Amino acid sequence: MARRVLLAGLLLVLLAVSGGHRSPSKAASRGHHYKPALKTKPGGLQTPKLVNSRAAKQTRLSDPELVTVKSTNEVTFDFSDDELEQQLLDNGGYIPKSAEPFQVIEDVSSRNRLFVTTPMLRSGIPASLSTIQYDGPSGLSLKPYPSLDRHRTTEDTITDCTEQLVSIAPITKSWTDDDTLYALDTGVLDITTSPKQVCPPKIITFDLRTDEIANITVIDTTACISLYVTLWVDPCPTGGAVAYSTDSFNFRLTVTDLASGASKHLQSEHYSSRRRSLSRAAGSCAYPPFGLAGIAADNSCDGKIYMQSFASNIQDVLDKKAIRDAKDGQVMDENIQMTLPGELSGMSGPLMVDPKGELLFFPIQDDYAIYCWNTSKPHEPQNFRLLIKDKHRMKYVSNIQIDPKSGRLWMLTNRFPSFATNTVDYSDVIYYIMYISIKGIVC
C-alpha cells in the first residue's frame, strides 16, 4: 500500500488549499559557475546582423505570433469503422475523456501530419501514439499509429511485450533525420490511478517513409517500476544513435545505445524531486514531487545537454562527453554537473535548445509564457526574454519541440493539473497544438 501511495504521488499533482503563491527560495550556494558558450557565427536560428537603427531593433525584438493549429475540449479517435468504435465504447476500451495529449512532433513538411501521444494515464485509451492531419479539421481526432492492432492497452490483451505498443509517452526526431521517429513505450498502465508496470520500457524506431517499425530496443532496468517521460536521440557516433531518456520515478538519466541495446543509468541530486518549488500551475497550487521532465541537446556530438526537473526553478547543463565517459550507476556530482546560476521565477518543465546550441527555450508555467535565453550571455533572469504569453491558451505547457526545417517552435498545452485531480471544465477549450516562428529570433 505504501508503494502505491508513493507512486501515485510521483505523478499526481497534489493540490494545496488556496493561500498565497510561495516565492521560490534562493538556491543553495554552488561551487561552480556556468561559463557561457562561445559565440558562434550567424546561422541557424540566429538573426543576421542588422543595421543599427530603431526600426531594425524593433524588427529583431518584435513578439512572435502564437498560431493555433488544433484545439478542442475533448480528444476523440478515428477508427474508420463505426461498428468497431461502438464496440470499444460499449466495453470500456474507449472513454474519450480518459485521453490526455502529452507530446506532439511535427511531420508536416514531408507528410502533412502531426504525431500526438496519449499515454495510459487511465483506462479507456485505445492507443498511445496517433497521427492527425495537419491541414484537416481543427479538433483532435487521432488515428492510431501505425495501426490500432499494434496497440495493447489492457493487461489481459498483451501477448508480446517486445512487439506490441502499451503506453508511449515521449517521442522525438533527431536533428539530422526527418524520416525517423523515436518513441519510448513506458510499459506502465493506469499511471495516475494505480500505476502498474506490465512490460519493460522500450524505445521504438519508426521508418516514416514506410510507417513500419525499424527497430525495438528494450531498456535494461533493475527498477520494479519506472516512468520515462522524456526522450532525446543523438546520431552519434556516426552511423549509430544514442538515446537519452529520463526516469522520473527513480530520478535518473538513462543512456541507451540503440545499435547494441546497452543501457546505463546515471544519477545526480539534480534529477531528484528535492529541488522543487511551490507553483500555481493551471489555476491550482501544485507541489508535484517529480524528477527530470525536460531534456534537450544541440546537434554536436561533443556539445551540451540541458535539463530541467519538473518542479524546480533551476536549470542544469552537462557535457555530452561527460555522459559518454560515465559508468553505469555513476553519480554525476558537482564535479561534472553544472547548475546554471539564474533562477527561474517559477515552475518550468520541458525545454528546447536550437540545433547550434545558441538559444534555449523554456516555459514558466506560473507566467503562462515561453522565454528564451541566448547561451552566449550570462544565465541571469534579466537575460531571459519573454517571447509569448497567453493565459488562456497556455494554461499548462506539456511539451515544446523545434522543427529545424520550418524554424517553428511547436508546443502542446493542456490542463494536466486539473486532469490529474478530476477538476477539468470540459465546457472550455482544453487542448491546444500551436507554434511560433523563431526564424531570426533574438534572445
For residue 12, the number of C-alpha atoms closer than 13 Å in the C-beta half-sphere is: 19
The per-residue pLDDT for 340 is 85
Rounded to an integer, the average pLDDT of 209-237 is 91
Q: With 90 as the cut, is the pLDDT of residue 245 above it?
A: yes
Comparing CA positions, the residue from 267, 187, 178 lying closest to residue 226 is 187
The per-residue pLDDT for 338 is 73
Question: Which is higher by pLDDT, 379 or 31?
Answer: 379
**Range scoring the smallest mean pLDDT among 50-64, 173-187, 327-341, 416-430:** 50-64
Question: How many Cβ atoms sit within 10 Å of the Cβ of residue 94?
Answer: 22
The per-residue pLDDT for 237 is 73
Buried b (16+ CB within 10 A) or exposed e, 187-212: bbbbbbbebebbbbbbbbbbebeeee
Rounded to an integer, the average pLDDT of 258-263 is 93
Please report the DSSP string for 245-262 in residue order: EEETTTTEEEEEETTT--
The per-residue pLDDT for 53 is 43
Q: What digits encode the pLDDT tens for the residues 86-138?
A: 999 999 999 988 999 999 999 998 899 999 999 999 999 999 999 999 998 88
CA distances from 140 to 76, 261, 419, 433, 438 (A): 6, 35, 17, 9, 25
Cβ pair 379, 373 in contact under 8 A: yes
Cβ pair 328, 264 in contact under 8 A: yes
Reduce the DSSP state of residue 323 to 3 states and report it: helix
Question: Which is higher by pLDDT, 373 or 314?
Answer: 373
The per-residue pLDDT for 337 is 61
Q: With 70 as the cut, is the pLDDT of residue 418 above it?
A: yes
Rounded to an integer, the average pLDDT of 260-274 is 80
Find where cell 545499435 sits. Answer: 259
Question: Identity (one letter) of the amino acid at 183?
Answer: A
Buried b (16+ CB within 10 A) or exposed e, 362-398: bbbbbbbbbbbbbbbeebeeebbbebbeeeebbbbbb
The per-residue pLDDT for 26 is 36
**Range scoring the smallest mean pLDDT among 65-74, 210-219, 310-319:** 310-319
The per-residue pLDDT for 334 is 57
**Range scoring the smallest mean pLDDT among 26-30, 279-283, 359-363:** 26-30
Q: How does the average pLDDT of the chain come out, rounded?
A: 82
- Residues 142 and 130: their CA atoms lie apart, in Å, by 5
Comparing CA positions, the residue from 352, 359, 427, 424 lying closest to residue 395 is 424
